[in-house]
Structure 1
Amino acid sequence: MKKIFSILTIGSLAMLTSCINGDEDFNNNQSQPYEVPAEPLLTNAQKELMDQMETPSVNLNVFRFFQHYLATTIYRNDARFNFTGTRKVPDNMWLALYTDVLGNINQAKKIIPSEIKPTLTPQAAWDKQQANKLAILNLMEIYTYQVLVDSFGNVPYSEAAKPETIVLPKYDDAKTIYADLIARLNSIIATLDAGYPSFQTGDNIYNGNVADWIIFANSLKLKVGINLADVNPTLAKQAVESAFAGGVLLNNATNSLFKYDATSPNFNRLYAEVIASNRNDFVAEKGIVDVMNTLNDPRRQFYFTTVSGSYVGGTVGLTNNYNDNSHIGNSLLAPNKPGLLFDASEVNFYLAEAAARGYSVGDTAQKYYEDAIKRSMEQWGVSTSDITTYLANPSVVFSPANWKQSIGQQAWIAMYNRGFESWNFYRRLDYPVLTAPNAVPAAAGKVPTRLTYPINEQTVNGTNWSQASSAIGGDKLTTKVFWDIN
């Protein structure tokens, strides 16, 4: 089986296809790789990325605790932000993204140039198709690096995913990485050509539809650009406005959905960790429940179950009784519920923020703010009349004078099942106001503003880890990533 390497450790990865060799001695050669096509590598990279962003596993993804979406019934330390004990959450996330996502993407990028052109396909058309394939792989790579930077700060980038030549990669400056991601996105957007195909199989998000991937690319540039608004307003404005002009994801019809299957092991990770595992580890958290109760938010019936007809939340960082609190809503627990890498609500909130900052994005901050709420509610099946009533609530009506609070609060509610994206909104806008009274001392009583580097990096890649830690101001949960300056 083809081995995919992390930047530091070796990890074997089960591929979705296999090959047969007629040589009876072939299986005795343990170093002989199978020839794996690019398509299953892309599928696996997409799945591993979506699994990491979607899972509620306390070993992998703790952002729902950061954002007061979930509380625990058993594993209190995880909800108190103790990630360096037996869990080693940063190590697991780092390994998943570098090995299981970037490792597969890197291998697929090597395969594309060696693919054989079908006899009847003109060379020019084949070149366009192959360019589209590489562009899609690069988009997945850029999305993953954005997640890594936003989680840790400075990370291996220019020397990463090169295990054959670089075993201990240096850490690149996060600000420099961001600028390069925008430059790469500009190149990719210019390369993608909707007049030609891309992957015929293997793309489990857009089924190879290049027009949809162009929208994804522009939306990703918008996302990266808006994060720079407070630290590099010139580049931010340029990136955001050009992304909007190129066409971004405004309606749910083009949401970036990863299609899970209803059978093991390919079902939705919430279902896997809650229903299939028969676990009672999570309850809804008091912070989000109380706010939505106050607003009479019609999404509560989809987000949560009830306790004697009421929505009740537990407290993050404490041990909570499972039967006394609301649970994750049943609508979120279908085995084949799609995962989301982008949705229209998220993108419209970015545009609302851009308009509020004075960028030229075609409409007002209020219009995009209301559209973001509408797209969220439509996605959950809320009726038009209930949406209208909600938008008329004085506590929901957009405030131009306090636009950060308006957008921050409503994005927090809309991103309920997307903890990482919610964390980015929170760190950039500083709303809603979230507390962490039960946090471990390492978090200084606050919601973490970054993840600490993996323990494995300290022990194996110590020199580069030490330099990176010093460069960002210390390897601490309270250190801020470069774009979070407020």
Structure 2
Amino acid sequence: MKKKLLTICLSALIIMVGAGCSKSYFDINNNPNSATNTTPELVLPQALTATASGQIIDYTFVSEWLGYWCPSGSYAISSSDLASYRQTTSFGDGIWTSFYHNLEDYDYIEQAAKTQSKSFYQGTAIVMKSFVFQQLVDMFNNVPYSQAFKGTNVIQPSYDGAQAIYENIAARLDTAVTLFKRADAVAASNSDVLFNGDNGKWIQFANTLKLRILMRQTQMAGRTSYIQSQIAKITANGGGFLSSDAAVNPGYANNSGQQNPFYGFCINTAGTYIGDFWRANQYPISFCMSNNDPRYQYLYAPTSNGGIYQGNVIGSATNHAANSASTFGPGLLKSASQPAVLISGAESFFLQAEAGLKGLISNSPSALFQNGVQSSFSYLGAGSAASYYTQSNVNTNYDACTTDAQRLACIIRQKWMAMNTVTPFEAWADYRRLGLPADVPLSVSPYVDVLAIPVRILYPASEYQTNAANVGSQGTINHHTSKIFWMP
């Protein structure tokens, strides 16, 4: 992990993950790990913006695999398409590099804030390092952790075990909560583009992230007592969980390089729709229409040719062309200045609902489930969800379910709906952990190597070139069979 010039970008990845970054309004042009003219207050907003910019754009592959997006039929399919489920070691190079650059910035913030006795910034850096490392583990399993960010002292860092990383970041989140409770934990004006210096919200964010980490491990044998003890610590700190979106906004505006990253991915500053490649998947449209769910009208837009809601099928050679397939809708493309979500309020409620169902927390899973559905409706601008989650339907009404298996499937189904193009990575995690939703359509591409959604990303080519011994010690990695440690 050599020290490199930081370039934070809001540029979009179009098909594969490894596209490069370009400069934008939100760039900073110093390497904060060796800089003499920067501070945690100056680095934090750019670091948060970089993290937020990738939560949809870096995960285009997830949005296709999990049934949210499909390519337009105007583009020919090939053996290299995401729909083939194929991977090479170049697949994850861009994510690996950008994530570790982002982590270098948070590491600088943490170390500098500790030296300068700035508790607020030390706490934010710990939380955000935990957030990014959790996603790295969820993609690659074992990764460099304890020896990362050592500069020339450790040019080729060893790989830490994924479970050990998870346990360490869970403990560090407790440390962050303690820091946020200190009287001297104060943010400088305009430096916190996530919660505007609200320590209580940061504690809720840390608690919700920790709950996500713990719920990932619920399918593992022998982890129940550990999970229970860790949830007890969350309960004891009294901060609670997120009830609204944790969303970054550094001042997005309808100017070049300043747009919300997903909005700018789809619409230019002149208001022209430029997202020619991606269109709706038919699967969520069909689900909504079959279950009296109005959200498809907010997730997607009617076609320009015919004015209907119509999606495509992953891997099909006969998909609808661009003007005959739905683009993204008004609930997702609100404005150039819309915030970029890290953890949604809906996800927080669904995590709590699942924890309640499994007896890990005492709150009513039914009420939490309903709050999660309403949060999704509210985010999209779809109005009240009351008539939706009370209809006699096990796909939409937790209380209509008669078994715990049905209840879990209902929670995850609605969580999958809520994550559509908001934080799609969580849908992939749930699918790998639980196999839910059970009917996510698989690709019909004739180029598929294995007919299954991949369980991980291969280690990047850059690691095999610069850290060969350590990445080689992980053995032969297969993206269909080499599971993340928490997978059953």
Tell me whether the two structures share a fold, i.e. TM-score over 0.5.
yes
Q: Which runs of 5+ in 2 are unaligned?
A: 9-25
| Aligned 8 A contact 1:199 1:208 in 2 | yes
Alignment-derived partner of residue 228 in structure 2: 237
Matched, 1:409 2:389: no
Deviation at 1:113, TM superposition (A): 4.5
Matched, 1:95 2:108: no
Alignment-derived partner of residue 289 in structure 2: 293
Deviation at 1:199, TM superposition (A): 2.2
1:73-472 correspondence to structure 2 within 5 Å: 73=72, 74=75, 76=77, 77-84=81-88, 88-99=90-101, 101-113=102-114, 115=116, 127=117, 130-193=118-181, 195-200=183-188, 201-231=190-220, 232-245=223-236, 246-252=238-244, 255-259=245-249, 261-262=252-253, 263-276=255-268, 278-307=274-303, 308-318=306-316, 320=319, 321-333=321-333, 334-359=335-360, 361-384=361-384, 386-395=385-394, 396-398=396-398, 399=401, 400-401=403-404, 402-417=406-421, 418-433=423-438, 434-438=440-444, 444-469=450-475
Q: In the alignment, which of 3, 13, 21 is matched to residue 7 of structure 2?
A: 13
Deviation at 1:357, TM superposition (A): 1.2
Deviation at 1:290, TM superposition (A): 1.2
AA matched with 2:225: T
For 1:322 and 1:309, the matched residues in 2 are separated by 13
- Residues 310-319 or 452-461, more deviating: 310-319
Alignment-derived partner of residue 49 in structure 2: 47
Calculate the aligned-residue CA RMSD, in Å.
2.5
| Aligned 8 A contact 1:68 1:288 in 2 | yes
Partner of 2:331, secondary structure, is: helix
| Aligned 8 A contact 2:370 2:389 in 1 | no
Partner of 1:468, secondary structure, is: coil
Q: Which one has the bigger helix percentage?
A: 1
- Residues 205-214 or 229-238, more deviating: 229-238
Residues 83, 248 of structure 1: CA spacing in aligned structure 2 closer, same or farther, 3 A cutoff?
farther
AA matched with 1:449: V
| Aligned 8 A contact 2:316 2:445 in 1 | no
| Aligned 8 A contact 1:194 1:210 in 2 | no
| Aligned 8 A contact 1:427 1:484 in 2 | yes
Once the two structures are aligned, what percentage of the paired residues are identical? 23
Residues 34, 242 of structure 1: CA spacing in aligned structure 2 closer, same or farther, 3 A cutoff?
closer
Deviation at 1:149, TM superposition (A): 0.4
| Aligned 8 A contact 2:7 2:28 in 1 | no
For 1:456 and 1:71, the matched residues in 2 are separated by 29
For 2:397 and 2:331, the matched residues in 1 are separated by 28
AA matched with 2:341: L
| TM-score, structure 1 as length reference | 0.84
Deviation at 1:11, TM superposition (A): 4.2
For 1:168 and 1:18, the matched residues in 2 are separated by 26
| Aligned 8 A contact 1:439 1:445 in 2 | no
Deviation at 1:286, TM superposition (A): 1.5
Residues 180, 113 of structure 1: CA spacing in aligned structure 2 closer, same or farther, 3 A cutoff?
closer
* Cα shift readout 1:361-392 (whole Å, capped 9, x = no counterpart): 232222221221112112222222x5324432
| TM-score, structure 2 as length reference | 0.84
Deviation at 1:168, TM superposition (A): 1.0
Residues 368, 241 of structure 1: CA spacing in aligned structure 2 closer, same or farther, 3 A cutoff?
farther
Instruction: Number of aligned residue pairs: give it.
Output: 442
For 2:370 and 2:38, the matched residues in 1 are separated by 46
Matched, 1:480 2:468: no
* Cα shift readout 1:116-141 (whole Å, capped 9, x = no counterpart): xxxxxxxxxxx5xx122201111010
For 2:3 and 2:87, the matched residues in 1 are separated by 20
Deviation at 1:453, TM superposition (A): 0.9
Alignment-derived partner of residue 70 in structure 2: 71
Partner of 1:424, secondary structure, is: helix
Residues 251, 203 of structure 1: CA spacing in aligned structure 2 closer, same or farther, 3 A cutoff?
same
| Aligned 8 A contact 1:151 1:451 in 2 | yes
* Cα shift readout 1:344-370 (whole Å, capped 9, x = no counterpart): 2101111111111121x2322222212
| Aligned 8 A contact 2:264 2:336 in 1 | yes
* Cα shift readout 1:149-196 (whole Å, capped 9, x = no counterpart): 011111111111222311111111101111111111122222321644
Deviation at 1:415, TM superposition (A): 0.6
| Aligned 8 A contact 1:283 1:326 in 2 | yes
| Aligned 8 A contact 1:452 1:477 in 2 | no
Deviation at 1:241, TM superposition (A): 4.0
For 1:243 and 1:111, the matched residues in 2 are separated by 27
